[in-house]
Amino acid sequence: MAIESAPASPPSTQQPPAKRRSWMSRGAATWIVVLSLALPVGTYFWGVMAANADFEAQKAHTAAENDKADFDAAQTAKQAAADAEQRLAEQKAAADKAAQAAGFSPSPTADGLVFWKGVTGHQCSLYAVTCGHVLIAVSSSCTPGVYVAANLDEGSTVIGHGNAITGALDPQHGTEVEIDFPGAPDDPAAKWELTDAHSL
């Protein structure tokens, strides 16, 4: 009598627990490796960003300090120039007052630096037909000398022009200058008028 074999059990679809645990272990290991590599890279990246931020902040701070230094230097120079101008104005005013007290008039072109006073009773040089004499004084040293010019007027008409240059002058040493008007008529009614007197 033949014996029938027992029906075979259907194959199981459930994964063996040991194999599932092995796959999960491999996944966890992979993530651990990824994280272990990513953390140093991220730390380096943020470190670079922080260093760049510090550098930019320092650069901006340095630029601001330089701008302030430039502004302060400009203000100092501006104030120094204003102080020098004020001192010069005060010196000119004092010289002008002293010169006028001595009978001098300030030059029409160098107020406070050059002063003049007309002199009468002096004879002209032999070659000059008409001339004028003027005393020149300065409030500060003028080594090259002073250029002096004048017009000879007959009423409201200019009938002659003359000029002269002095030698070196200083506040303690003035000089007298003869201004000749060559070609001008010998008119006793004509009068000369100083038009310029400035340090060269």
Q: What tokens were used for 172?
A: 């303690």
pTM over 0.85: no
Answer whether residue 57 is part of any domain: yes
pLDDT digits (tens, 9 = 90+) for 166-194: 999 999 989 999 999 988 887 878 899 99
pLDDT at 102: 85
Which phi and psi (to 5°) does residue 158 adopt?
A: -85, 120
Answer yes or no: do 108 and 185 share one domain.
Answer: yes
**How close are the terminal C-alpha atoms of the chain, in Å?**
153
End-of-domain residue from the set 84, 101, 118: 101
Tokens linked to 5: 């074999």
Could you tell me the residue range of the domain that residue 76 belongs to? 23-101
pLDDT tens column, 32-81: 555 555 556 556 666 666 677 778 888 888 888 888 889 999 999 999 98
If asked whether residues 51 and 110 sit together in one domain, one would say no
Q: How confident is the model at residue 4 (pLDDT cuts 50, 70, 90)?
A: very low
Last residue of a domain, one of 35, 66, 101: 101
3 state DSSP class of 150: strand
For the chain, the domain total comes to 2
Same domain, yes or no, for 160 and 188? Answer: yes
Q: Do residues 91 and 84 make contact, with C-beta atoms less than 8 angstroms apart? A: no
